[in-house]
Chains A and B, each alone.
Chain A
Amino acid sequence: MTTVYTTSEVAPSAELAVDLRDLYKTYAGEVHALRGVDLAVERGGVFGLLGPNGAGKSTLVKAMLTVIAPTRVAGSVLGAPVGDRATLKRIGYLPEHHRFPQYLSGRQVIEFFGALAGVPRRERKQRTDELLEVVGMSAWAGRKLGTYSKGMQQRVGLAAALVNDPDLVVLDEPTDGVDPVGRREIRDVLARLRAEGRTVLLNSHLLSEVEMVCTRVAIIVQGRVVRRGTVEELTRESARYEVLLRAPPPAWCFDGAENGGIVGARVEPGSGPMLNSVDPRGDLQRLILPQAGESVMQSIIDRLRREGMTVIAVTPVRESLEDLFIREVQDPTTGQAHKPGAGGVP
């Protein structure tokens, strides 16, 4: 397949580590894996790439790293056009389901990939020693990979991705198969990379981890970026107060002119397992006030109490990244998750 590069239309950005525009990838059989992805990743920080299986995350990463040829792409990676081979020298990559030569030892694997990135021998050896220490594999460095557990291979893979001292590190499911202790260590490595000013692009299904380490995230669904921003930005619009009342709320609560400008206020039954102790009859009402500020809430509560309403609880609520993710990957018409892949009309 011939790739159409349209880099001349886009000036490389000095602030962006990755600046992909109009990225398409169509496989044989008209499978549209990527359908016009625009993705900007600022230099420094950990960027999380989220999406359900088959959404196109790995395809996006592979297109960026020349593992596959995009059908069409514009933009730059580390200031160079996408597909520039020399730029790969400054990128570290750990693919999902990597398979290293089993006849090599952990040390040899790291040194081998360092050499393929053109790292001189002395520097390579020094970096390998340091990284073995960082990923906690020094004691096993001389053993053949065939004797390693999945988690140990993952640690060695992480070290191999870092051996060329990269500016951009691309990690596809780095904690896959790693035990909780190992996961924490990998998170520490990511934090260290972030502190060093490197850019990390992280593909992961583990949303809690992403939430912990990522400064920004993008959600890909069916070959398109549907949401992008910091976790705070993405969950801000779901921020709301929920007021638990003993009786239905008065009408003014739903009127923006009287409730302090809150739009979209609604009421839902207040029942739920957690409320059994305070709501044995099941008649509690939950007043939901989206995007309400603290001062507005104070006045609403004061007015409700003045009008004799019993306020059981007032709870500030914000959607978790997982809630947001689930909402984005669901088809609103069916309520089911979008089918993997992005077949059909681009």
Chain B
Amino acid sequence: MSNASSPARLSSRDRGIQTWALLVAAYRELNARKLFWLSIVLSGLVVLSIGALGLDEDGITIFAWTLESPFFNSTVVAPETFYKLLFSNLGVQFWLGLGATILALVSTAGIIPDLVTAGTIDMMVSKPLGRTRLFLTKYATGLLFTALQVTVFTVACFLVIGIRGGAWEFGLLIAIPLVVLFYSYLYCVCALVGLLTRSTVASLLLTMIFWFLVFGLQSAEQLVSVGRTASRLELDAISQDLEAERSHPDGADAPEVERLEEELAAQRSDDDTWQLVYAPISWLSAALPKTGETLSLLERSMDDVAAMPGQWEEQRAERRADRRSARGEDARPRPDDGAGPGGEIFGSSRVGGREIENKVAEERAARSKLYVIGTSLLFEAFILAIACWRFRRRDF
């Protein structure tokens, strides 16, 4: 029995003991969850798939088989770039960003509801342990799940790319914090809902809905951004045509000038509408976490992978020019050459889809990493602040 007259004080050592105990318990909890190990096994299969694919001079190889391709082989794409592309697209965007994230949400959605269940929480909060620290440590437990998964997967991919691609790309490891960050945006919502409802199912479903809404909003923002940019470029192009017509050495063609002025007025009206639609979407999007953009930061961090779409487009443009020359047509690029989905919708005879896409990509790239991560973390901090406030004040 301790001396009753001595005041009890919590030292930093006590806090260290408590935090370590919570983390060890978290590991044991994860270890006890079958889904944790299922995720690890599935991650292993994805790594195996990546490792099974290869690139040689004839085309793509799968184990000992070769799928011959004159457009996709080691003379077009370096094997190390190919593997990084696979890792970035198949591994991170598809597996970690979707499959493993759903599994992680299913596995960890119950952590906070389990914590606040009567009978468990009583014992926890009756210990000399701050409620905020308890909640945040449990929250970190959920992130630990993803961190372990991503670390295992990324390191395995790093080894595969090193051994098979011959490039020891340490930059790939940036995927670990990026994916954990991405997951934390969703998991903070999951934790808050779990705390408020004490229901694993509710927290899982509402988080999925939130994720879907964020994805929808980001897609809408991207689409509206393409339309707005196309409108602006069209406006500039009409203005230039009008200016050219007015300053024509042979004198302005009055009906043409009038037509262009009408077109300019109509385009200005369109442009105003685009601005009106874009503004609220962009504000809302700025306030919400940038899930897709955070994962895309991995591609942005790998120069050769980021440059791949451009390189492919250049190669395609060369092939189109060759074909036109062979047919005896004008080999110069046309405005609709290489237009992506947005470009096809919003392109015009004056502004090419490629030009719109380039402009949109330029604007997107102008968003700094600090903006993407910073605004997302602000959202996360806001949600966690609400959760901590509620957890501190709640009666159990």
Which chain A residues have a beta carbon within 8 Å of chain B's beta carbons? 1, 14, 27, 43, 62, 65-69, 78-80, 85-91, 93-95, 97-101, 103-104, 108, 111-113, 115-121, 160, 165-167, 196-198
Q: Within residues 1 to 40 of chain B, which ones have a CB less than 8 A from any CB in chain A? A: 1-2, 4-5, 7-11, 13-15, 17-18, 20-22, 24-25, 28-29, 31-32
CA distance A97 to B120 in the complex (A): 9
Q: Within residues 167 to 205 of chain B, which ones have a CB less than 8 A from any CB in chain A? A: none
The contact sample of 22 A-B pairs, CB cut-off 8 A, is A1-B395, A65-B126, A67-B396, A86-B128, A87-B8, A88-B128, A89-B10, A91-B126, A93-B123, A93-B126, A95-B126, A98-B123, A99-B117, A103-B28, A112-B25, A115-B18, A116-B128, A118-B10, A118-B13, A118-B17, A166-B2, A167-B2
Shortest beta-carbon contacts, A-B, top 4: A115-B21, A99-B119, A118-B14, A103-B32
Question: B14–A89 contact, CB under 8 A?
Answer: yes
Given contacts A86-B8, A98-B123, A99-B119, contact A104 B28 (CB under 8 A): yes
Question: B119–A68 contact, CB under 8 A?
Answer: no
Question: B128–A112 contact, CB under 8 A?
Answer: no
CA distance A67 to B393 in the complex (A): 10
Q: Within residues 322 to 371 of chain B, which ones have a CB less than 8 A from any CB in chain A? A: none
Given contacts A115-B20, A165-B2, A197-B1, contact A86 B119 (CB under 8 A): no
Give the Cβ gap from A124 to chain B, nearest Cβ, in Å. Answer: 9
**A101 touches which one: B18, B29, B128 (CB < 8 A)?**
B29
**B393 touches which one: A69, A80, A117, A120 (CB < 8 A)?**
A69
| CB 8 Å contact bits of B363-396 with A (1 = contact, 0 = none) | 0000000000000000000000000000001011
Q: Which residues of B are found within 8 Å of A68, using beta-carbon distances?
A: 395-396
Closest to B10 in A: A86
Question: A1–B119 contact, CB under 8 A?
Answer: no
CA distance A97 to B122 in the complex (A): 10
Question: A95–B128 contact, CB under 8 A?
Answer: no
Q: Which residues of B are found within 8 Å of A100, using beta-carbon distances?
A: 120, 123
**B7 touches which one: A80, A119, A121 (CB < 8 A)?**
A80
Question: B7–A104 contact, CB under 8 A?
Answer: no
CA distance A160 to B13 in the complex (A): 21
Q: Which residues of A are found within 8 Å of B2, using beta-carbon distances?
A: 90, 165-167
Q: Which residues of A are found within 8 Å of B21, using beta-carbon distances?
A: 111-112, 115-116
The answer, yes or no, to whether B129 is at the interface (CB within 8 Å) is yes
The answer, yes or no, to whether B308 is at the interface (CB within 8 Å) is no
Closest to B32 in A: A103
The answer, yes or no, to whether B125 is at the interface (CB within 8 Å) is yes
CA distance A119 to B396 in the complex (A): 25
Q: Which residues of A are found within 8 Å of B128, using beta-carbon distances?
A: 85-89, 116-118
Closest to B121 in A: A67
Question: B119–A160 contact, CB under 8 A?
Answer: no
The answer, yes or no, to whether B124 is at the interface (CB within 8 Å) is yes
Given contacts A113-B123, A196-B1, contact A85 B10 (CB under 8 A): yes
The answer, yes or no, to whether B310 is at the interface (CB within 8 Å) is no
Given contacts A97-B119, A99-B117, contact A120 B17 (CB under 8 A): yes
Question: A1–B25 contact, CB under 8 A?
Answer: no
Q: Which residues of A are found within 8 Å of B166, using beta-carbon distances?
A: none
Give the Cβ gap from B38 to chain A, nearest Cβ, in Å. Answer: 16
Q: Which residues of B are found within 8 Å of A27, using beta-carbon distances?
A: 395
CA distance A91 to B123 in the complex (A): 11
Closest to A119 in B: B17
Question: A62–B1 contact, CB under 8 A?
Answer: no
Given A66-B126, A90-B4, A165-B2, 13 further pairs, Cβ under 8 A: A65-B125, A78-B8, A86-B7, A89-B10, A93-B122, A93-B126, A99-B120, A103-B29, A103-B32, A117-B128, A118-B10, A118-B13, A120-B17
Give the Cβ gap from A14 to chain B, nearest Cβ, in Å. Answer: 8
CA distance A329 to B120 in the complex (A): 31
Closest to B125 in A: A67
The answer, yes or no, to whether B130 is at the interface (CB within 8 Å) is yes
CA distance A301 to B128 in the complex (A): 63
Given contacts A103-B28, A112-B21, A120-B17, contact A98 B119 (CB under 8 A): yes
Residue in B18, B123, B393 whose Cβ sees the most chain A Cβ within 10 Å: B123
Given contacts A103-B29, A119-B17, contact A89 B120 (CB under 8 A): no
Question: A78–B4 contact, CB under 8 A?
Answer: yes
Question: A104–B123 contact, CB under 8 A?
Answer: no
Q: Within residues 66 to 120 of chain B, which ones have a CB less than 8 A from any CB in chain A? A: 117-120
Given contacts A67-B122, A67-B395, contact A101 B7 (CB under 8 A): no
Give the Cβ gap from B274 to chain A, nearest Cβ, in Å. Answer: 49
CA distance A100 to B124 in the complex (A): 10
CA distance A258 to B289 in the complex (A): 91
Question: A43–B32 contact, CB under 8 A?
Answer: no
Q: Which residues of A are found within 8 Å of B18, using beta-carbon distances?
A: 115-116, 118
**B123 touches which one: A14, A80, A160 (CB < 8 A)?**
A160
Give the Cβ gap from A56 to chain B, nearest Cβ, in Å. Answer: 13
Question: B122–A85 contact, CB under 8 A?
Answer: no
Q: Which residues of B are found within 8 Å of A93, using beta-carbon distances?
A: 122-123, 126
Question: B127–A116 contact, CB under 8 A?
Answer: yes
Given contacts A89-B10, A99-B120, contact A108 B17 (CB under 8 A): no
Closest to A33 in B: B395
Residue in B11, B18, B129 whose Cβ sees the most chain A Cβ within 10 Å: B129
Question: A99–B118 contact, CB under 8 A?
Answer: yes
Give the Cβ gap from B10 to chain A, nearest Cβ, in Å. Answer: 5
Q: Which residues of B are found within 8 Å of A69, using beta-carbon distances?
A: 393, 395
CA distance A91 to B8 in the complex (A): 11
Q: Which residues of A are found within 8 Å of B120, using beta-carbon distances?
A: 98-101
Q: Which residues of B are found within 8 Å of A43, using beta-carbon distances?
A: 4
Give the Cβ gap from B100 to chain A, nearest Cβ, in Å. Answer: 22
Question: B14–A79 contact, CB under 8 A?
Answer: no
Q: Which residues of B are found within 8 Å of A99, using beta-carbon distances?
A: 117-120
Q: Which residues of A are found within 8 Å of B15, using beta-carbon distances?
A: 118
CA distance A39 to B31 in the complex (A): 45
CA distance A180 to B80 in the complex (A): 71
Closest to B120 in A: A99
Question: A116–B29 contact, CB under 8 A?
Answer: no
Residue in A103, A108, A196 whose Cβ sees the most chain B Cβ within 10 Å: A103
Q: Which residues of A are found within 8 Å of B9, using beta-carbon distances?
A: 86
Residue in B20, B32, B128 whose Cβ sees the most chain A Cβ within 10 Å: B128
Q: Which residues of B are found within 8 Å of A88, using beta-carbon distances?
A: 8, 126-128
Closest to A43 in B: B4
Q: Which residues of B are found within 8 Å of A198, using beta-carbon distances?
A: 1
Give the Cβ gap from B48 to chain A, nearest Cβ, in Å. Answer: 30
Give the Cβ gap from B311 to chain A, nearest Cβ, in Å. Answer: 51
CA distance A87 to B4 in the complex (A): 10
**B8 touches which one: A89, A98, A121 (CB < 8 A)?**
A89
